[in-house]
Amino acid sequence: MAYTFQFAAVFESLDLLAKGALLTIQLSAAAMVAGLLFGATFAVLRTFGGRWVSMAIGTYVEAIRNTPFLIQLFLIYFGLPSLGISLDPVTAALIGMSVNCAAYTTEIIRSGIMAIPSGQIEAARALAFSTTDIIRHIVLFPALRVAAPALGSQFILVMLGSSVVSTVSADELTATGHILETQTFRPFEVYIVVTLIYLAIAFTLKLLFAWLDVAWFSRRGRL
């Protein structure tokens, strides 16, 4: 059966797709920042914070990593109103993405911390380094340098996973594509363009993370 591609209707609505892509980027960037901050904090606390703190964080990490992101999102958006907490779709999406990202980031950074030789920490203590200085210079920075490639990959997955938030009516790229498809009745063309936009965002993030790895970690590591 012959099929005639007709992209004209899609190209006429590129402004709508651009708005959806912008929300995707904004949600992803905010979730990446929150995930990195909380992930680094939780990784340090799980490693050095004592038994009960480690167990609490470990429970959170395992609960998030072993349940579907969609269910987590539904609990936030549809479940919290039962407790009197109502969130708009974008806020619920941001919280869900951040909570999910932080759990994975915690384990990635913790694996970097575990790769640091214990002798370096003992030497820093012998030199009277404060606990803060040890975590900042001896533990966290080297751990982030080791974990940087895995973090970059995880953050790209966060961006791609943002498509799930369309299920709670957040008007990101996938949701916008679905709306456009119902208006134009050209699903093949619409989702080809949506796929190309996701690819463009993903490759841009890949280049950005590669540049940050060189600019922040490699250069500082040589100083």
- Residue-by-residue DSSP string for 130-174: -HHHIIIIIIIHHHHHHHHHHHHHHHHHHHHHGGGGGGGT--SHH
In tens, the pLDDT along 120-145 reads 777 877 777 777 777 777 888 888 88
Distance of CA 28 to the CA centre of its chain: 6
Is the pLDDT at 24 greater than 90? The verdict is yes
Give which of 120, 176, 172, 125 is closest to 146, Cα–Cα.
120
Rounded CA-CA distance 27/32 in Å is 9
In tens, the pLDDT along 98-128 reads 999 999 999 999 999 988 887 777 787 777 7
Mean pLDDT estimate for the chain: 91
More confident residue, 218 or 65: 65
Rounded CA-CA distance 84/120 in Å is 49
Show me where the domains of the chain are located. Answer: 8-222
In tens, the pLDDT along 48-93 reads 888 999 999 999 999 999 999 999 999 999 999 999 999 999 999 9
Angle between helices 187-212 and 173-184 (to 10 degrees): 160
Is the pLDDT at 222 greater than 90? The verdict is no
Which residue's structure tokens are 């970690």?
A: 217
Give percent helix, percent strand, percent coil of the chain, each to the nearest 5: 85, 0, 15
User: pTM for this structure?
Assistant: 0.91
Measured in degrees and rounded to the nearest 5, phi and psi for residue 99 equal: -60, -45
In tens, the pLDDT along 32-58 reads 999 999 999 999 999 888 899 999 999
What's residue 219's pLDDT?
Answer: 62
Please name the fold of domain 8-222. MetI-like fold (1.10.3720)
